[in-house]
Amino acid sequence: MTTVHPFWIAGKSATSSQVADVTHPGDGKVVGQYCVPTSDQVVQAVQAAWDVRHEFRRTTAAQRADALMYVSKQLTDRAEEIAQLIVDENGKPLIWARSEASRAGMVFRWAAEEVRRFSGEMQRLDTEAATAGRMALIRRFPHGPVLGISPFNFPINLVAHKVAPAIAVGAPIVVKPAPSTPLSALLLGEILAGANLPEGSWSILPIDNADAPALVADPRLPVVSFTGSDKVGFEIQKAVPHKHITLELGGNAAAVILEDWNSEADLTWAASRIATFGTYQAGQSCISVQRVLIHDSLFPELSKRIVAAVAALPNGDPRDEKTIVGPMINEAAAMRVEEWVNEAVAAGAKILTGGTRNGSYYDPTVLVDVPKDAKVSCNEVFGPVIVLNSVSSTDEAFAIVNDSPFGLQAGVFTHNVQAAFRAHSELEVGGVIIGDAPTFRSDQMPYGGVKASGVGKEGLRHAMQDFTHERILVLSGLDL
């Protein structure tokens, strides 16, 4: 019998008469059901967040840290259960689902650690004769309740990246998970219910996307933290320009292989990392490797190795521990990728491996000779497709990286420290990864992009800063 999951209003479970199915992306079978909140229940959750905002802000750092550590431990203890749930609702291969479950536990642990350090700063003001005897205490306070909107591709870790920093700063949060993958977020609610947080400090509402604009517009939610497509993200920004908006949007991640990355070990490492992280979990990551820019001298050998590595990747049942790629979130997503690849081929691109679809599965694919204006080159594929390009210089490679509306992360394979610092200086992205694919992310580091990749940062302390504002207290008449 299929379990019907409740949702969470003001820290308490709730149900409704409307029930929705969650289906497995690979075979379409129903893997769970959940209750959909009514409009009145949504209003109740938002009002509860607004009403508790002052009480929650006044909780001690110790209270919030203890709650966050409780959640971290529960997530860690239940990691295998959560991983299996991610596989069921998202179709993510088990190897990556286990990684995501583990990361979510660490996000809450890092948040607990940051709470104890989030203390503000002192600033001497007696730097001029007119301000003698004065000092400033600069502290941060929440903007107010947060609306967190999370996507399907990381159904618990990206929810964690919204909930954990909100709790850390004492900001109530209302979470709207993706309708296709709400079960992991609802399980997180089950855990949060035992964390001894003030009533109203969090709610998890699996509403339909069509009902989200009313939440976005609600003045009782002055912060909107959105992760998803650039189209939807910028629509939110346009709709509520007076709110504090953080947007983690799309990418078109490039990996650059410079001339000095030329040993046997170098080429083996680069081929493996590019193949794996251009196609893992069916390429459904904003920092999945999409464009590969290889120096002319290395192109024949490295392109051959990348193609062989991609062709060898296990693609199939995500419940199989050996599977790396797996299905896309649904057949429509796979059909879109198929259409984009076919358009590129019609314009002159060549398929070196892959290029076929079976339902929601799209074979890991490598393309060459892709026109620069083809969708698979200039847009975000969000599928298991890698585009190879040959470049003659670092200048050319970096210019191509920057010739994109997106700017999330880039990877540069080089041993040259000067080239590494140049990449950091010149590449118009939020993060540069040296010696690895652009897909690397450690959850405590600042993560976010520029241009069409969004505004604001995730990564605990950085998200905590985004959810708060500075308030200055000036002390006068001090004997400094």
* Helical pair 79-90 and 61-77, crossing angle rounded to 10 deg: 70
Q: From the CA atom positions of the chain, what is the Rg in Å?
A: 23
Please list the alpha-helical segments (H only) found in 323-416: 331-346, 375-378, 394-402
Q: By the 8 A CB rule, do 429 and 405 touch?
A: no
Instruction: Give every CB contact of residue 380 below 8 A, 6+ residues apart in sequence.
Output: 230, 250, 251, 252, 286, 290, 406
Which one of the listed residues 89, 100, 113, 286 is annotated catalytic?
286
For 13, left (φ over 0), alpha (ψ -120 to 50), or beta?
Answer: beta
Q: By the 8 A CB rule, do 86 and 92 touch?
A: yes
Which one of the listed residues 89, 248, 331, 380 is annotated catalytic?
248
188 closest CA partner among 172, 209, 200, 202:
202
Q: DSSP 3-state assignment of 101?
A: helix
**CA–CA separation, 280 vs 277, rounded Å?**
5
Q: DSSP 3-state assignment of 111?
A: helix
CA 429 centroid distance within chain: 15
| Structure tokens, 242 | 């007076």
Residue 318: CB atoms within 10 A of its CB come to 27
DSSP class of residue 308? Answer: H
Q: Is 39 exposed, middle or buried (0-12, 13-18, 19+ CB in 10 A)?
A: exposed
Is 248 catalytic? The answer is yes
**CA–CA separation, 23 vs 100, rounded Å?**
20
HSE at residue 144, side-chain half, CA atoms within 13 A, is: 15
Identify the H or E element spanning 365. strand 365-368
Is 378 catalytic? The answer is no
**CA–CA separation, 89 vs 21, rounded Å?**
10
| Structure tokens, 334 | 């796979």
**CA–CA separation, 388 vs 386, rounded Å?**
7
DSSP class of residue 458? Answer: B
- 């992306």: which residue's tokens? 25
Give the catalytic positions in this structure: 248, 286
